[in-house]
């Protein structure tokens, strides 16, 4: 069995003439949190969209759990990319119920994921009445419905207050502890440092760095050095 839930081998994505992702090889360990770091426009969303099949790589290969990625693997991948796909006029529970029905998942599971995301008390509130943080959490609850092995969270802390960010961080750690691998992207270095086991730094569509991270690393400095070196090259 592979130690990696996702491996990309020299993956590229070209839009019209420009490459958004260039020969990118990334390895995401099972049951870990992988922090994908990079400034706006670096290619984070494009990379995550290729892993969820929203867009196809122009070249290269994506391996899911050691086999070439196919659409069947989407059963094991939950994602929240850009903003959560909610029906504003439906309640939290109804939003989940709609997705559960589509996927053939039992209603009980809707309550499980509400509980897990600490939304039980707002189960019957309409999504339109939710704060941004609650919407993000409902978006993650939707992503968890299918009991994924891999969860992709694209800049999930955007728009959250410090309290919401801390709560989300703790939730992300519980996912990894319960056997869900997580890829979380961010343009905020300090945020990822506190939650990730490994980080990848993406810049101009290239992965410039990938390694384990610990609390003592000076990510700001590392990031600046790597980007400066790339610009000079």
Q: Shortest gap between Cβ of 44 and Mg ion (angstroms)?
A: 5
Closer residue to Mg ion (CB): 109 or 156: 156
Tokens describing residue 208: 């410039």
Closer residue to ligand ADP (CB): 38 or 148: 38
Neighbouring-strand partners of residue 126: 91
42, interface contact from ligand ADP, Mg ion, none, CB < 5-8 Å by kind: ligand ADP
172, interface contact from Mg ion, ligand ADP, none, CB < 5-8 Å by kind: none
40, interface contact from Mg ion, ligand ADP, none, CB < 5-8 Å by kind: ligand ADP
Helix (H, G, I), strand (E, B) or coil at 113: helix
Neighbouring-strand partners of residue 19: 14
Q: Shortest gap between Cβ of 48 and ligand ADP (angstroms)?
A: 8
Angle between helices 92-103 and 132-144 (to 10 degrees): 20
CB 102 within 8 A of CB 62: no
CB 131 within 8 A of CB 118: no
> Radius of gyration (Cα) for the chain, nearest Å?
18
Q: Shortest gap between Cβ of 155 and ligand ADP (angstroms)?
A: 7
CB 149 within 8 A of CB 124: no
182, interface contact from Mg ion, ligand ADP, none, CB < 5-8 Å by kind: none
Q: Shortest gap between Cβ of 10 and ligand ADP (angstroms)?
A: 18
Q: Please give the residue ranges that form the binding site for ligand ADP (CB under 6 A).
A: 15, 20, 38, 40-46
Neighbouring C-alpha atoms within 13 Å toward the C-beta of 117: 24
Q: How far is residue 157 from each of residues 33, 75, 76, measured CA to CA in Å?
A: 15, 25, 23
Q: Which residue is nearest to Mg ion (CB)?
A: 45
Q: Shortest gap between Cβ of 155 and Mg ion (angstroms)?
A: 6
- 44-63 residues in contact with Mg ion (CB under 5 A) are 44-45
Query: Which residues make up the interface to Mg ion (CB under 5 A)?
Result: 44-45
């Amino acid at each position: 069995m592979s130690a990696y839930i996702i491996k990309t081998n020299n993956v590229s994505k070209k839009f019209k003439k420009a490459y958004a992702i260039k020969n990118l090889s990334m390895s995401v360990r099972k049951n870990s949190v992988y922090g994908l770091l990079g400034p706006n426009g670096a290619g984070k969303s494009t990379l995550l969209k290729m892993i969820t099949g929203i867009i196809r790589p122009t070249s290269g290969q994506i391996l899911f759990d050691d086999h070439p990625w196919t659409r069947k693997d989407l059963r094991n991948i939950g994602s929240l990319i850009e903003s959560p796909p909610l029906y504003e006029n439906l309640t939290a529970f109804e939003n989940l119920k709609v997705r559960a029905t589509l996927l053939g998942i039992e209603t009980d599971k809707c309550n499980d994921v509400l509980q897990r995301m600490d939304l039980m008390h707002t189960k019957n509130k309409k999504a339109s009445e939710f704060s941004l943080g609650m919407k993000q959490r409902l978006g993650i609850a939707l992503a968890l419905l299918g009991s994924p092995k891999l969860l992709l969270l694209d800049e999930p802390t955007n728009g959250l207050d410090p309290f919401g960010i801390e709560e989300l961080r703790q939730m992300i750690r519980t996912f990894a502890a319960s056997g869900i691998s997580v890829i979380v992207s961010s343009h905020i270095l300090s945020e990822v440092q506190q939650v990730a086991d490994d980080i990848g730094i993406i810049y101009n569509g290239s992965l410039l760095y990938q390694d384990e991270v610990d609390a003592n690393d000076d990510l700001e400095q590392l990031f600046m050095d790597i980007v400066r070196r790339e610009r000079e090259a």
